């Protein structure tokens, strides 16, 4: 038989490194048994022997030797006269094993087998990739940016598989550069044109949960449980945790000494503010904690309507609402209630306002401190004064005041 080396003859095998050998051997066997059925009408009296390590393939045909003229099934039997032509020592009643030369199938059949084999291996690789990442949904992975476009970034894992990080799953402040490592969670696996597409996410709550599990050993050890996470990516997140050990303070453990544990996560999330609160089944207490950093005076909760009226001191209102209303929005998601905010003792729904510190990403803190020095600690309190009045009462330059007023006005125009 003309020897055939599968690695050389079927180049696609080189891409099949991640496929386990028994599966690979079964695929090769199936392909060549199909070839046998096409040529002989049956594969019952043929053995396909594959040595996957060496890449060798043997096809053996076995037939029973019968007396001349008594052959009833040519596929299973061979006449004595024909048998001794192959090997003179054969006798009637013995089984004859004969190697089939692969080239007897013809060039077209070999080419068809090659294409079928390549297709089957490609399907196997796709199925393996789908299974691998379906089992890792919600898991944190690290991959390298291969290409970044306006709507998405293409990443490569350590095995060279392509992963997609859509712009909608990126933190707004993310800037992808080719070659840099990026951490994200596996969000889902989709099939497009029969090809698997692995979608990653940096905005999903599970991304923050996985980062916390890495930084806080008590979470990975099962001593602290994350009850719920709500996020406005790049802006703010609220994490409700509970301790399964009375000796452990869950909030303190998550934040760490002087914020040591949470700081790394905040940097990874592009300075996203993270409020870690103690979970409770007491809905009044949960609402109070969810509005952190604001301190509330009282509240009225209607569980049937899933509604809460919260009353706060005037100086806490802007903190409760937050920049772009993010803080109160997250509090609603965390508690499952619609929350309305009122000024304490007035029963009057408050005018939307924003604490100046919420603008620390656009306005320098020393500028904010200067406004606070003259009693302006919210956006509206600054906008109520004219540029000339602000220039007279503060030590700020006219250009700085103009920039601040523009930033504050644009924020309210967006709202």
Q: What is the pLDDT along the chain (415 residues), one digit of tens a residue?
A: 343 444 444 444 544 555 666 777 777 778 788 888 887 777 788 877 776 566 567 788 788 888 887 888 788 888 888 888 888 887 888 888 877 777 777 777 777 777 777 777 777 788 888 888 999 999 999 999 999 998 999 999 988 889 999 999 999 999 999 999 999 999 999 888 878 899 999 999 999 999 999 999 999 999 999 999 999 999 999 999 999 988 999 999 999 888 899 999 999 999 899 999 999 998 989 999 999 888 888 889 998 999 999 998 887 888 888 888 899 999 999 999 999 988 876 555 556 677 888 788 788 889 888 888 887 888 888 888 888 888 888 888 888 999 999 888 887 776 5
- 414 alpha carbon, distance to own chain's centre: 31
* CA separation for the pair 291, 339 (Å, rounded): 10
pLDDT given for residue 346 in this prediction: 55
Is 320 buried (19+), middle (13-18) or exposed (0-12) by CB count in 10 A?
buried
pLDDT at site 21: 65
Fold for the domain defined by 6-132: N Utilization Substance Protein A; Chain:P; domain 4 (3.30.1480)
For the structural domain made of 136-203, what CATH number should be given? 2.40.50.140
pLDDT tens digit sequence for 120-140 = 777 778 888 888 899 999 999
pLDDT at 204: 95
pTM over cut 0.75:
no
Phi/psi at 320 (5° precision) = -65, -40
Closest CA relative to residue 190, chosen from 146, 143, 127, 130: 130
Report the distance separating Cα 379 and Cα 357, nearest Å: 9
Using CA atoms, how far residue 179 sits from 29, 162, 168, 265, in Å, is 41, 14, 21, 22
Q: How far is CA 387 from CA 247, 341, 392, 398, in A?
A: 54, 30, 9, 8
The pair of three-digit structure tokens given for residue 369, joined into one six-digit string: 């401190």
Residue reference for tokens 């990403």: 361
If one counts every other C-beta atom within 10 angstroms of the C-beta of residue 119, the result is 12
* Listed residue (339, 334, 328, 280) closest to 306, CA to CA: 339
Look-up of token digits 């022997």: 49
Domain ranges in the chain are: 6-132, 136-203, 356-414
Which residues make Cβ contacts (< 8 Å) with residue 16, sequence separation at least 6? 24, 121, 124, 125
**Cβ proximity of 27 and 117 under 8 Å:** yes
Which backbone phi and psi does 157 adopt, to 5 degrees? -85, -175
Q: Which residues of 91-112 are buried (b: 16+ CB within 10 A; e: fewer)?
A: eeeeebebebebeebeeebbeb
Report the pLDDT value the prediction gives residue 357, as an integer from 0 to 100.
80
């Amino acid at each position: 038989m003309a020897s055939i080396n599968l690695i050389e003859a079927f180049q696609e095998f080189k891409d099949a490194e991640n496929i386990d050998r028994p599966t690979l051997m079964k695929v090769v066997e199936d392909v060549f048994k199909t070839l046998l059925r096409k040529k002989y009408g049956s594969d019952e009296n043929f053995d396909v022997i594959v040595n996957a390590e060496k890449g060798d393939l043997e096809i053996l045909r076995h037939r029973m030797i019968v007396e001349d003229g008594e052959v009833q099934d040519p596929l299973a039997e061979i006449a004595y006269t024909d048998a001794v032509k192959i090997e003179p020592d054969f006798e009637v009643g013995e089984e004859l094993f004969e190697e089939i030369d692969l080239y007897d199938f013809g060039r077209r059949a070999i080419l068809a087998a090659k294409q079928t084999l390549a297709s089957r291996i490609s399907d196997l690789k796709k199925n393996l990739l789908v299974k691998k990442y379906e089992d890792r949904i919600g898991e944190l992975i690290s991959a390298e940016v291969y290409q970044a476009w306006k709507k998405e970034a293409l990443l490569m894992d350590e095995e060279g598989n392509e992963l997609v990080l859509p712009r909608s799953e990126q933190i707004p402040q993310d800037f992808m550069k080719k070659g840099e490592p990026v951490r994200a969670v596996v969000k889902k696996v989709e099939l497009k044109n029969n090809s698997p597409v692995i979608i990653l996410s940096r905005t999903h709550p599970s991304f923050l949960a996985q980062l916390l599990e890495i930084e806080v050993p008590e979470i990975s050890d099962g001593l602290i449980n994350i009850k719920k996470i709500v996020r406005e990516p790049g802006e703010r997140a609220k994490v409700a945790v509970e301790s399964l050990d009375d000796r452990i303070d869950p909030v303190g453990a998550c934040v760490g000494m002087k914020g040591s544990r949470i700081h790394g996560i905040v940097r990874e999330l592009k300075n996203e503010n993270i409020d870690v609160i103690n979970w409770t089944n007491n809905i009044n207490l949960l609402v109070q904690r969810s509005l952190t950093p604001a301190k509330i005076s009282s509240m009225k909760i209607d569980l049937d309507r899933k509604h809460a009226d919260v009353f706060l001191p005037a100086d806490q209102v802007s903190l409760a609402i937050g920049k772009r209303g993010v803080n109160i929005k997250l509090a609603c998601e965390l508690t499952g209630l619609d929350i309305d905010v009122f000024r304490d003792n007035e029963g009057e729904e408050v005018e939307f306002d924003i604490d100046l510190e919420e603008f620390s990403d656009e306005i320098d803190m020393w500028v904010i401190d200067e406004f606070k020095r003259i009693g302006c600690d919210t956006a509206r309190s600054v906008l109520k004064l004219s540029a000339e009045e602000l220039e007279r009462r503060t030590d700020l330059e006219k250009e700085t005041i103009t920039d601040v007023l523009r930033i504050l006005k644009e924020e309210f125009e967006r709202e």
